[in-house]
Chains A and B, each alone.
Chain A
Amino acid sequence: MMRALFVQGLRRLGSAPIRMTVILLLMAGPSIGQALEAGSEPAAGDIYLALIVCAGLVGSDFSRGEVRLILARPVSRARYLLARWLSAGTALGALLLVQYLLGCVAAAMLGLDGAPSWQRIMMTGCSLATWGLLFAAMLLPISVSLPGETDACLYGFVGLGLLVMREFVDEPTSARVVAELVRLLFPKPDWLHYSPHYAFAVLSNSAIALLLACVILTRRELPSAPPA
């Protein structure tokens, strides 16, 4: 059952033409340029990509009334959440990986100076894939709480708020607190070496976010059945 939900999640992502167009646009131009840079950290383009992929992950099921049909089958709410998380996280991880590998192939073909080594490609690839899973998990509690794709609007407002704060709040303590919070929620990967702390930080944050999403979902009432 979980497998069917996982596949359905991937299909739903692929069958949304506007979303796919935005994803391809975000991947094609500036993101490949970023991938060619030596640091190869997920940059702003990748965050937009993640937000677009994960928007309305669970909320849209509630708004369309599909969640009632899904949960009528022999599947627990926790497993339904896990399947949704895995489908979005896998899709996001795969997109980031493809984008990065395209950048590496382009760098190798152009004979660019500073093309990444195999070790760096492997490490960055693994980090990007895990980053995708973490990001999808962190957005899940928000998607469970809000209807439809309104979570995307919320991310927009938060992003705008952070930009305004950066421009107008000239207080180092606040900036440091925000930076610490972001680092705690989204630990920075070591792009060159395997770090057990990073691996457990990603896993524990994902597990906490999934648990939180699960608690919220178990307390939510299902939408009433659409009129016949």
Chain B
Amino acid sequence: MVNVETQGLRKSFGDTEVLKGIDLRVPEGAFAVLVGPSGCGKSTLLRLLAGLEEASEGTILFGGEDVTTRAPKDRDVAMVFQSYALYPHMSVRDNLAFGLKLRKTPSNVITARVDEAAAVLGLEPLLDRFPRALSGGQRQRVAMGRAIVRRSKLFLFDEPLSNLDPSLRTQVRVDIRKQHDRLGATSIYVTHDQVEAMTLADLLFVLSEGEVQQSGSPLEVYEDPANRFVAGFVGSPAMNFIEGCRVSADGTAVHVGEHRLTLTPRETYAPAQLADLEVCVGVRPHDLNVVTESNNSLPFSPSILETLGPEIHAHGTFGAHEGVVAVSAEIRLARGVMVHVRPTRLYLFDQATGATLR
């Protein structure tokens, strides 16, 4: 168990700057998730933490200790790779034991730890098999086991679920969280899947373009996104954005075309500052209801329906802007409806910077 901190961490490959000054702070025992679209630098950040890449600038601290220039083997971290990276020429047992053998752990300790990990992960019948004789899920568990037996202070996960089929993914996700809670070691988990991020994280870091856009608990990030990118990235289906809206002169409403949406002064809003400003309006699909009256509503023309079972995602347009509405009852296609916007769930973003207006 160790707390992890980075200060002004930068990484460039040639002329391309992949990380542009990352400040990370993960407390002891936390499950931190780095989430972001592909190419945002999250995997690079993880590899820097593991020591597989060298930082161009900045420091990495494990438990207050500077480990920036240490080799991976001297950092005492365990890592689960996206491809699992099992040793193909070793049996499952040897795969699990390899890290311990390298550290000259006594053989009785190795046996005990391997047996324990195998029991926890249900790998006992597979111990003498070779990786090529295992299914994807089994391999994933071996990769997990390899990290577990090490009893490292820090676990790093590099998109460990992306090679699994969706049904297995949910189950393994739960398993990972369970193991984390059992072992209590600090975990840092990289994913591009925001559902995974939301469900697993104690602490969420949203990355984009080599920078941390926002950090906080999943709910904080969901409820109070720092900018339009975070708002759009976190939550499924993604938030609807309608650009080119104008706040009324008194700052109590926002005009979307000829429709008027009331702004409920939240404690963060400062109406006076917003008055007469051109903004981008954001509203989550789940905060919209199909209604008949036109009060505080927007017209919506659905074109495609995605039926998920308990709810339906209706894809369509708000005037000129594409968007999604989550509805519980079936609506009819190609026919305009009115959707009601919950006033407290309206987000305003700066047209130019994308920052959330409060």
Interaction A to B: no
Which A positions have Cβ atoms within 8 angstroms of B? Answer: none
